[in-house]
Structure 1
Amino acid sequence: MDANNLVSARELARRNGLSFPNESPEYRQARDDLLAEEIELRRHIERVAKQRRALPLGGPVTKDYRLQGPDGQMTLKDLFADKPTLVIYNYMYGPQRERPCPMCTSMLSALDGEIPDIRQQVAFAVVARSPIERLLAFKKERGWHHLPLYCDTTDEFSRDYHAIGADGSDDAAYNVFTIRDGRIHHFWNPEMGPATADPGQDPRGAPDFMPLWTVLDTTPEGRPPTWYPSLTYNTTR
């Protein structure tokens, strides 16, 4: 994308030409102003993604991490299968938790149906610190079909890649690894948290991987400031 040859966002918004039944001129003007900002946001997302892809290689993986899967022990390299890139999500479901993190579970539930598509391009794994039998039991309870679950039996991978807090508690983490010349390197982690949050903002990354928030961000109410997903709801309501 050559920024020098782009039509201005405001001009693209003007060309859009959409309208909806019974809208007021004030609504259309405000919506076109917003559309111009949304076009600029899309362009910024593209610039950030290009900058991310151009990152130099991160640190090489020098430890022989072992993870327990449904069919036995796996190395980190095994998880790549035939792909050059591996995405690992660390799920907040350690052995000290009676139930898994509802927020993680909400996001993973949305991703479950996407896994067959994701794995056309990259390898994907979900790692947690609970025993594999416990993870598989919850997978069945939740009705997940595709999420590949693994147990970090030693906590070493989780600790090294920031999925364990300073107090030993679970933390969510998202890490991308790549293989170059036969060697595994770390590539990217969101690195956003409380230290990078703006005042009054719930810490979150950009991009935000939660489809839930993406939908709610399009509504008049937006994201509820104190509400989080639950593992279960009263379905009779």
Structure 2
Amino acid sequence: MTTVNNVVSREVWLAARLELLAREKAWTREGDALAAARRALPRVRIDAPYVFAGPDGERSLLDLFAGKRQLVLYHFMFDPSKDQGCRSCSFVADHFAGAQVHLAARDTALVVVSRAPLAKIAAFRARMGWTFQWLSSHGSSFNYDFGVSFDPADVAAQAVDYNYKKQAFPHPEAPGISVFVREGDAVYHTYSTYGRGFEPVMTTYAILDLTPLGRQEEGLEFPMAWVRHHDSYDGT
């Protein structure tokens, strides 16, 4: 238990809070500037005929837009040899349900893609109670082309190309977010982010960052070692 040893008067607290508020406002303005720079990135036309397996049959990348102008695609770590998805990616996915209706109101579709076969995805999706669109890219180069699946030899050599650099990565699958926009039937890739780049979608972290104990990840084997599938926490 953390010892409370920094108790002060309301006046002292207010002075400290106003000092922090100035930093928060500067951070918010920088975030706005980064978002503008992100929107201004050039785009790459996607001509590869990617095919995804879904509950209603095969779908193209264009189909995933479901008529919307924009597409946000989450690369969910689900190794084809496994029977359940990554715990950390499940933590991310738990935050999608409430966002979908609001994204749709801004002409944006949200889908999830994994390399695991559709049958495994469907079983795990049902277990988790999720309703978002989740498709399989099994048998295609999609995950490899977007930097979230790796050759086992590169994993062994600790030289996978992830997050825009060669580095060690302990798994053949990795998480990420890719964003696409369409002009008519032409699809363009505008943005991809990896590592901590998609923390903004994890609102649990944003809430914990408001608290005095924070994320409580110090001393763990890796930061998200505490995360479990939402049906696997003790006492649930």
Normalising by the smaller structure, the TM-score range is: 0.7 to 0.9
Contact preservation (8 Å) 1:125, 1:149: yes
Partner of 1:212: 204
Partner of 1:105: 90
- Structure 2: distance between partners of 1:101 and 1:133: 16
Aligned length: 202
Partner of 2:233: 233
**1:125 corresponds to which letter in structure 2?**
V
1:70-81 to 2 correspondence within 5 Å? 70-81=55-66
Match of 1:222 among 203, 214, 219: 214
Distance change (3 Å), C-alpha of 1:131 and 1:206:
closer
TM-superposed CA distance for 1:207, in Å, is 5.7
TM-superposed CA distance for 1:228, in Å, is 3.1
Distance change (3 Å), C-alpha of 1:222 and 1:97:
same
1:155-194 to 2 correspondence within 5 Å? 155-165=140-150, 166-167=154-155, 169-180=172-183, 182-190=185-193, 192-193=194-195
1:199-228 Cα deviation digits (max 9, x unpaired)? xxxxx1266321121111111122213243
TM-score in terms of structure 1 length: 0.79
TM-superposed CA distance for 1:155, in Å, is 3.8
Partner of 1:56: 42
Match of 2:135 among 120, 138, 150: 150
**1:128 corresponds to which letter in structure 2?**
S
1:3-152 to 2 correspondence within 5 Å? 23-57=9-43, 59-120=44-105, 121-145=107-131, 147-152=132-137
Q: Compare the two structures and name the one with the higher strand fraction.
A: 2
- Structure 1: distance between partners of 2:83 and 2:135: 18
| Range with bigger deviation, 67-76 or 125-134 | 125-134
TM-superposed CA distance for 1:131, in Å, is 1.5
Residue 219 of structure 1 aligns to a residue whose secondary structure is coil
**2:88 corresponds to which letter in structure 1?**
M
Identity %: 29
1:9-30 Cα deviation digits (max 9, x unpaired)? xxxxxxxxxxxxx952211111
TM-superposed CA distance for 1:163, in Å, is 1.2
1:160-209 Cα deviation digits (max 9, x unpaired)? 0011134371111210011135421110012x54xxxxxxxxxx126632
RMSD: 1.9
Which consecutive segments of 4 or more residues in structure 1 shift more than 3 A? none
TM-score in terms of structure 2 length: 0.79
- Structure 1: distance between partners of 2:92 and 2:71: 18
Contact preservation (8 Å) 1:103, 1:228: no
Contact preservation (8 Å) 2:54, 2:136: yes
Distance change (3 Å), C-alpha of 1:205 and 1:228:
farther
Partner of 1:10: none
Residue 110 of structure 1 aligns to a residue whose secondary structure is coil
